[in-house]
A and B are shown apart, each in its own frame.
Chain A
Amino acid sequence: MAEQTTAPVNTDEIKSILDKHKDQVKLSLKLCAHCTLCAESCFLFHVKDKDPRYMPSHKFINSIGKLYKKKGNVSRKTLEEISEIVWRKCVLCTRCYCPFGIDIPKMIALARQICRSQGVVQQFDKE
C-alpha cells in the first residue's frame, strides 16, 4: 500500500532525476524487443501463474518507461500506480535476465527513487 498524501508533485525534481539517467533509460526502452525471455528468470512471474503483469519487461516499461515518456509530468495517482508495480510486483532480487543486457533492476530502482522523491513509498505500518 502506497502512502497517501495530497502534496503536489514536483515534476522538475522528477525530470532532474530522469535527466541524470536519460541515456540509459532511453536505450533500455529502445532495446526491449518484448522477447519475454526475462519472464522466465522472474520467480514472481512463475509464482503468480505466469501473470504477464509480473514480467520484468512489463514492470520496467510501465514504471520508468511511463515516467520517461511523460517526461516526468505525472500525477500523484500515476506515481501511486507505479509504486504498486515497483514494490508490490517486484522484490528487486536482481535476478532477471535480459539477452540484450538491459539492466532491469536498475530501471525499477530508478522508478522507486522517483516515487520516494515525491513521498510515494510503501507503508509497512499499515494493514
Chain B
Amino acid sequence: MVKAKRKPLEEIRDAIKSYKRVLTVGCGGCVSVCMAGGLKEVNTMNAELKQMFKEENIECSFDGFTVERQCNMEFLEDVADKVGKFDCLLSMACGAGVQYMSERYPDIPVFPAVNTVFIGVDKEIGVYEEKCRACGECVLGYTGGVCPVTRCAKGLFNGPCGGTNKGKCEVSSEVPCAWVTIYDRLKAQNRLDDILKIQQPMQWQNQVQRTIIQEPYKERYAKQD
C-alpha cells in the first residue's frame, strides 16, 4: 500500500496560517493503515495545531472529517456540505487524494498535511519499508522477486556496478547490494540463467502522467474515432 508520513507541524502552519477556518480531511484508505492520515491522526493533528496557534496568537478554528477514500470521487461527495463553511482544506491523504480533492473542490485551497513516501510493506506496527516505485515495467520475474529499481541505488537492470563490496552497496556499508541479493536468490532457485538475459534500459523519459485500463474494460473505454 501507499505509505505516508505527516509533514512537520511548522510547514503545515506556514501553509494555512492566513486562513481563519480550516477543515482537516482524513482518508480511510492507505494513510489510515499506515497511521499517517486516518480519523485518529486528524484529531491528533488538529489538537496539536490548535495548541500551536494558541501559543503563537494566530486566530484560526479547526474542524475534522474523515472520508472513506480521497482517491474516489464518490466518497469525496461526503464532505460536500461542509466545504463551503471553511476557508481552506487540509488533506491528510496521499498525493493522489490531495489532487483529486483539489479537482473536486477547485474553488477552495487544498493543502497537503502528509508527504507521500512510497509503496511498501508493513514490517511492524508503525514501521514500513519501500518495495516498489511503480515504474510500470516490472522486472521481478527475472530478478527473483527483488526489485532492482527500488533496492539498487543506481536502479541497474543488468547486474551490479563496480561499487558492490562484500555484499554491500557503496552508498552505505549497511545497505545490502541488491544484485548480490538477486544473485543469491536466483542461485538458490537454480535460475541463474535469468540474469544472463540482457534487459533493455528503462524508458524513464516517457514518464508522463500514466493511466491504466484493465483488459476487460478496454472496449468500454475505447476512444471514439
Contact = CB atoms under 8 A, between A and B. Distances in A.
A114 B28 CA distance: 14
Interface in A80-127: 92, 94, 105-106, 109, 112-113, 116, 121-122, 124-127
B68 A127 contact: no
Contact of B78 (A92, A94, A113, A122): A113
Contact of B32 (A105, A106, A124): A124
Interface of B: 28, 32-35, 38-40, 66, 68-69, 72, 74-75, 78, 125-126
A127 B126 CA distance: 11
A125 B125 contact: yes
B125 A122 contact: no
A94 B72 contact: yes
Contacts of B125: 124-127
Nearest to A113: B78
A112 B68 contact: yes
Nearest to B68: A109
A124 B69 CA distance: 16
14 contacts: A92-B68, A92-B69, A105-B74, A109-B75, A112-B28, A116-B39, A122-B32, A124-B32, A124-B33, A124-B34, A124-B35, A125-B125, A125-B126, A126-B125
A112 B28 CA distance: 10
A126 B125 CA distance: 7
Given A92-B68, A94-B72, A112-B68, A125 B28 contact: no
Interface centre among B28, B32, B78, B126 (most CB of A within 10 A): B28
Nearest to A20: B81
Contact of B40 (A105, A109, A121): A121
Contacts of A121: 38-40
B78 A109 contact: yes
A106 B74 contact: yes
A125 B68 CA distance: 19
A94 B74 contact: yes
A53 B33 CA distance: 24
The 4 closest A-B pairs by CB, nearest first: A109-B68, A124-B33, A121-B39, A124-B35
Nearest to B125: A125
A113 B39 CA distance: 11
Nearest to B33: A124
Contacts of A127: 125
Contacts of A109: 68, 75, 78
Contacts of B33: 124
Contacts of A125: 35, 125-126
A117 to B, nearest CB: 10
Nearest to A87: B28
A97 B126 CA distance: 35
A116 B67 CA distance: 10
A61 B75 CA distance: 20
A109 B74 CA distance: 10
Interface centre among B33, B35, B68 (most CB of A within 10 A): B68
Contacts of A122: 32
